[in-house]
Structure 1
Amino acid sequence: MRKRHTTKDRLITVALHIALVAGLFFAAFPIYWMLSSSFKSNTEIFALPPTILPKAFTLEAYAAILGDPVKLRFFFNSYFVAFAVTVLTVLIALLAAYGFSRFNFRGKGSLNTLIISTQTIPPITLLIPFFGLVVSYRIFDTYTALILTYLVFTLP
């Protein structure tokens, strides 16, 4: 037997949908603003009152970024480090998870508890000691230091 929807149920559903649409707008508007501003000229970006849509569609911001080899190097560095950290994190976590799920060994429960309990330590507390290690191993200002730092903070 189907449940009858009362007026109160419908009002709650409508209110919930309105709240969800408002939340979506609240979350998506900064992304829209960033994208629309990337197609505006500098004078239009800083104009008061601000415009929601670009008056004149321009690609000068993209030309300035993509035409500068130094900034392209910054993009390459970011993508390289992000790709390396992602691959290593997935690989290490996948192998560890497989080992924990398939094999029984002495101390498995204790080791699992130890690994999970390390999640209670705020990562920022590890930053200064990790910086000391990076400097002492003389890998400061290298891809290796960046990748290891991010790897330490992304692995469970």
Structure 2
Amino acid sequence: MTVAQYGAVAHTRPYLGKIGIRGRERLINAASYLLLLIAIAIVFFPLAWMLTVSVRPNIEVMRMPPTWLPQVFTLEGYRKIFASPRYLLVFANTMMVSLVVTALSLLLGAMAAYALARFKFAGQRAVLMFLITTQMFPLVLLCIPYFRIFITLGLYDTRTSLIVVYLTFTLPFCILMLRSYFINIPRDIEEAAMVDGCSRLGAIFRTLVPMSYPAFIGAGLYTFLLAWNEFLFAVVLIESWENRVLTMAIYSLMAEFVTDWNTMMAFSVLASLPLVMAFIFLQKFMVQGMTAGALTS
């Protein structure tokens, strides 16, 4: 091999190395996208089946082999829901309970989170450990104690009982999430506002709250999802149709011998729409709020 040929080969080696690195990166990216597509298909499969069952008659649901597209298209399930006053009342109850729980969780959680983030006091670490412990406690063990408490207080079969119970497991989460976000905001901003004449409360509302809107949106969305989808305590504490929520109404459509799958899936589609729309438009704020302060103590 001549000197010129050796120099040409040596010159092409870095180029070949770059091609190899780029090829591996493209292969990794292709594998990642393939896994994401598989995950999306797995997640959307039950949603797509729920939607297609909601627009077909019950006789087609049990047909073997099943088909994706309905042979007879019908909106009978949706008509039954919108024509029934008690079903519409169920939607109103669920929305009211979820919004009240979300508002109270954010209001009370923000005040407690600010105190834990800005002040030092005796027992602070014990309070934090207690809040963390509440997130690990099995909620099913609380059904009987809650049932007896609300029977004694005369709050059984009321929407107030659901609001109080939901707050017990949404409020600790909001406190922990908002505290982690408040810690990352420098104290100097509030102190500067107080030097300019603001009270502490005014400094909080003028500086801290506007800067923490991703955390408030994330915590609020998570709280709303929990209250909207909760089933266990609703079954234990609610009996009458006037106070029932969506999960109970959907469950009531299941019978021992005959199940109205068409109406049940239509109910499920309508119940999922607010959550899907909220998550589509607010998911980036939820991710920001839940990841902020993840490394703080």
**TM-score normalised by structure 2 residue count:** 0.47
What corresponds to 1:142 in structure 2? 158
Q: Residues 56-106 of structure 1: CA distance to partner in whole angstroms, max 9, x if unpaired?
A: 432211101110112222222222222222222222212211221122333
**Number of aligned residue pairs:** 155
Q: Whose relative contact order is higher, 1 or 2, with alpha carbons under 8 Å and at least 6 apart?
A: 2
Which protein is richer in helix relative to its size? Answer: 2
Match of 1:83 among 99, 109, 114: 99
Query: Structure 2: which 5+ residue stretches go unaligned?
Result: 1-17, 173-297
AA aligned to 1:61 is G
Match of 2:79 among 50, 63, 88: 63
1:141, CA displacement in angstroms?
0.4
1:12, CA displacement in angstroms?
3.2
**Which protein has the larger Cα radius of gyration, Structure 1 or Structure 2?**
2
- Whole-Å separation in 2 of the counterparts to 1:102 and 1:54: 59
1:25, CA displacement in angstroms?
0.1
Q: RMSD of the alignment, in Å?
A: 2.2
Pairing 1:39–2:59 present:
no
Match of 1:23 among 35, 39, 42: 39
- Whole-Å separation in 2 of the counterparts to 1:104 and 1:4: 56
1:8, CA displacement in angstroms?
4.2
> Aligned with 1:48: secondary structure?
coil
1:40, CA displacement in angstroms?
1.6
Pairing 1:155–2:171 present:
yes
What corresponds to 1:103 in structure 2? 119
**TM-score normalised by structure 1 residue count:** 0.85
AA aligned to 1:14 is A
What corresponds to 2:109 in structure 1? 93
